[in-house]
Amino acid sequence: MRLKPYEKYKPSGVEWLGDVPEHWEVKRGRFAMQVNPRATYLKQLSVDDEVSFVAMESVGEFGGLKLDVTRVIADIGSGYTEFQEGDVVLAKITPCFENVKGAIALNLVNRIAFGTTELHVLRALPSLERRFLFYVSISSMFRSAGEGEMYGSGGQKRVPSEFCENFPTPLPPLFEQRAIANFLDSKTAILDKLTAKKRDLLKRLREQRTALISRTVTKGLPEEEARAAGVGVISRFKDSGVDWLGDVPEHWEVKPLFRICSLIQTGPFGSQIHASDYVDFGTPIINPAHIIQGKIVADDESTITPEMADRLSRHRMRVGDIIFGRRGEIGRCAVVTENEAGWLCGTGSLVLRLESALSEYISILCRNSGFSQELEQHAVGTTMKNINPTILGRMIISVPPLLEQRAIANYLDRETGRIDHLITRVEAALGQLTEYRAALITAAVKGRIDVREAGSV
């Protein structure tokens, strides 16, 4: 069934809402819902009763609550958001609000839940169908308007309760709200199944990529690839003595990383660089945030004057160096190319310079999940884990002959490139599904399409 617009429209009086169907009303939120009301069902329970407990990570994006945690009321205390069966909850803090975290509260233990204080609770009044309210709350118009009303700074920006109370809420007749909700329930269920399949495919592709790399850097090339590269087929293995490596080809060396390096060095102390040293279009400083999926990506806010760069010249990177993140996501690394040569290793990074191995192979080996997990276990620190040159240098690795290193690097570059192409296509399809879902919801709750015949009342 092709959906058409309504026959007649009228101005809503709200610029971003535009025209609405002629028979719809538009009311401020406070006249259609309660915002952050008390949970009235709570009066029916005793302090010994269990209720659902909802942390922010339990609130789904575009719907759904994970209800695997319960608490006894007496153990909860104050400082939590209370809500009840049938309420609509939505995250009010950035970036959760922008990520459309929100849901209808259903199947709560004893019809009551307590949760994070970073939730707003919306309870529909008799003129508002709760499912229609939910779809309004996750619509693009609601979220875009809410972003404009946020207060606070940085990661502490929040949508105030007054935004919900004053939000111009489209109000079709109640039977029509139900029809719209039924229509969206049906369509989003189909889209959600398609999305789940795409995400499952994405997960399997990433697992395939990880397994391919892990197998190749610990067991060598497949037989046909080895013959084609002229490096010989591997038939004999030995125990590496390292859990994550397991058995490795007999002719490979197993040694600490420092034995193939001429340099392992951290970036300069943060106190060596002052705010006045940072300029636009200067020499980039590379910290962990600039190491993305095996590539070095500089930004305009982390560049310093040529004079300071000269004073820190011992930290300049060369072609073939491998730069590591030494804190945060420990172990992320990338090979320095001609484009990044002369840039500086930052405070949160360290540089590894090889003298008897191929950078492309060693970086692939170091990005392997087994290596990363082992490195994480050896990290030090209390508030933030980090690594130093000694920790990195003592990591045990497997080192094939140079010709075989190059063959492995070329093979993995080709094969992971194919998988990455598929991943990109699936990610694009996922993005299109998400955009279509959001557009469909917004069109329906704004009255841009007439779904009365499509959604059973």
Spell out the residues 6+ positions from residue 270 whose beta carbon is closer than 8 angstroms to its own. Answer: 347
- At 121 the pLDDT is 97
- At 103 the pLDDT is 96
Backbone angles phi, psi at 28, to 5 degrees: -65, 150
The single residue listed with the structure tokens 């399409």 is: 449
Give yes or no for residue 1 having a pLDDT over 70: no
Q: Select the more confidently predicted residue: 415 or 331.
A: 415
Please answer whether residues 341 and 385 qualify as being in contact, where contact means their C-beta atoms are separated by less than 8 angstroms.
no
Span 232-254, pLDDT tens digits: 899 899 999 999 999 999 999 99
Helix axes 402-445, 140-148, angle to 10 degrees: 100
Q: Which two tokens stand for residue 119?
A: 């939730």
Please answer whether residues 83 and 113 qualify as being in contact, where contact means their C-beta atoms are separated by less than 8 angstroms.
yes
Q: Select the more confidently predicted residue: 129 or 453.
A: 129
In SS3 terms, 291-341 reads as EECCEECCCCCCEECHHHHHHCHHHECCCCCEEEECECCCCCEEECCCCCC
Please answer whether residues 384 and 180 qualify as being in contact, where contact means their C-beta atoms are separated by less than 8 angstroms.
no
Give yes or no for residue 286 having a pLDDT over 80: yes
Give yes or no for residue 382 having a pLDDT over 80: no
User: For the stretch 194-228, what's the b/e string if a residue is b when 16 or more beta carbons lie within 10 angstroms of its beta carbon?
Assistant: ebeebeebbeebeeebbebbbebbbbbbbeebbee
Strand partners, 123: 34
Please state, in angstroms and rounded to a whole number, the distance separating the CA atoms of residues 434 and 264: 45
- At 369 the pLDDT is 86
| pLDDT range class, residue 281, cuts 50, 70, 90 | confident
Please state, in angstroms and rounded to a whole number, the distance separating the CA atoms of residues 148 and 116: 23
Please state, in angstroms and rounded to a whole number, the distance separating the CA atoms of residues 296 and 403: 26
Tally: H helices and E strands in the chain: 11, 25
Please answer whether residues 130 and 165 qualify as being in contact, where contact means their C-beta atoms are separated by less than 8 angstroms.
no
Give yes or no for residue 446 having a pLDDT over 80: yes
Q: Select the more confidently predicted residue: 205 or 383.
A: 205
Give yes or no for residue 301 having a pLDDT over 60: yes
Q: What is the value of pTM for the model shown?
A: 0.82
Please state, in angstroms and rounded to a whole number, the distance separating the CA atoms of residues 348 and 61: 33
Span 192-224, pLDDT tens digits: 999 999 999 999 999 999 999 999 999 999 999
C-alpha 400: how far from its chain's center? 36
Backbone angles phi, psi at 121, to 5 degrees: -115, 130
**Nearest one of 119, 93, 116 to 104, comparing CA atoms:** 119
Please answer whether residues 146 and 97 qualify as being in contact, where contact means their C-beta atoms are separated by less than 8 angstroms.
yes
Please state, in angstroms and rounded to a whole number, the distance separating the CA atoms of residues 325 and 320: 16
- At 457 the pLDDT is 44
- At 368 the pLDDT is 87
Q: Which two tokens stand for residue 337?
A: 């190319």
Give yes or no for residue 271 having a pLDDT over 80: no
Spell out the residues 6+ positions from residue 291 whose beta carbon is closer than 8 angstroms to its own. Answer: 297, 323, 324, 325, 332, 333, 334, 349
**Nearest one of 53, 48, 134, 138 to 101, comparing CA atoms:** 138
* Cis peptide preceding 95, ω within 30 of 0: yes
Please answer whether residues 66 and 127 qualify as being in contact, where contact means their C-beta atoms are separated by less than 8 angstroms.
no
Span 399-423, pLDDT tens digits: 999 999 999 999 999 999 999 999 9
The single residue listed with the structure tokens 């197998």 is: 215
The single residue listed with the structure tokens 């002052």 is: 274
Question: Across residues 283-306, what is the average pLDDT?
Answer: 90
Give yes or no for residue 74 having a pLDDT over 80: yes
Span 342-353, pLDDT tens digits: 999 998 899 999
Strand partners, 103: 89
Q: How much is the mean pLDDT over the chain? A: 93
**Cα dihedral 104, 108, 113, 116 sign:** negative
**Cα dihedral 61, 62, 67, 73 sign:** positive
- At 77 the pLDDT is 79
| pLDDT range class, residue 276, cuts 50, 70, 90 | confident
* Domains annotated on the chain, with CATH: 25-171 (3.90.220.20), 208-418 (3.90.220.20)
Spell out the residues 6+ positions from residue 109 whose beta carbon is closer than 8 angstroms to its own. Answer: 50, 51, 52, 67, 70
